[in-house]
Structure 1
């Protein structure tokens, strides 16, 4: 039973796990946080997400767009401009994840570092 009195069923567990896997993928959360923080152009994301490669940033933006968390807008100008912004669902997801990030910062010393945490 959950704190709000709901039964935890297989479907709820699967939805929760799928959500965590999506945003828990390396760099996804950081890109979403950058979007909510005001990044719009590719270079702004690159500056906001320290350590991400151009290739990985392009991949994560494409995936987050596919999943409905980021909207991509092409402005037909010379040169062509591409802008990204969080969708309402993306902004809502980041608002839901903010307490988890806060908890992580508060309990960082208690969280064991894994080998995968150290890789760039």
Structure 2
């Protein structure tokens, strides 16, 4: 006999779930786009700023610093005048590329279905408002 929800011990926890911790790292929309900008190798800050549509200098700086802190991005300062800064994925960061590419592929293949489901739901529940 299945246990009731009152007696069953919780087995899903935000604080203990490795998956939720990983989602915390990559779930920001800018994080994914910045990682995609580095998927082909080393990229300079200005080039990344141009490639990532809509990101501000402040947000790009915050995002790459967070990724650097997490060990996913390496930052290299080139002693030129003015100094140039290049970024690249670390070996750890590169391990994220395949699962992120799969999510991107899923999105391209199924997001239209999500939009249709939302529209259908909204129409069915419009009278509830």
1:51 aligns with 2:87: no
TM-score scaled by length of structure 1: 0.78
TM-score scaled by length of structure 2: 0.73
Aligned to 2:109: 106
Q: Which runs of 5+ in 2 are unaligned?
A: 1-10, 119-129
Output the CA distance in 2 between the equivalents of 1:88 and 1:24.
20
The 4+ residue runs of structure 1 with deviation greater than 3 A are: none
Q: Which runs of 5+ in 1 are unaligned?
A: 1-8, 114-120
* Higher Rg of the two aligned structures: 2
Quickly say closer, same or farther: Cα 1:72–1:105, change in 2 above 3 A.
same
Output the CA distance in 2 between the equivalents of 1:15 and 1:58.
26
1:79 aligns with 2:85: no
The number of residues matched between the two structures is: 104
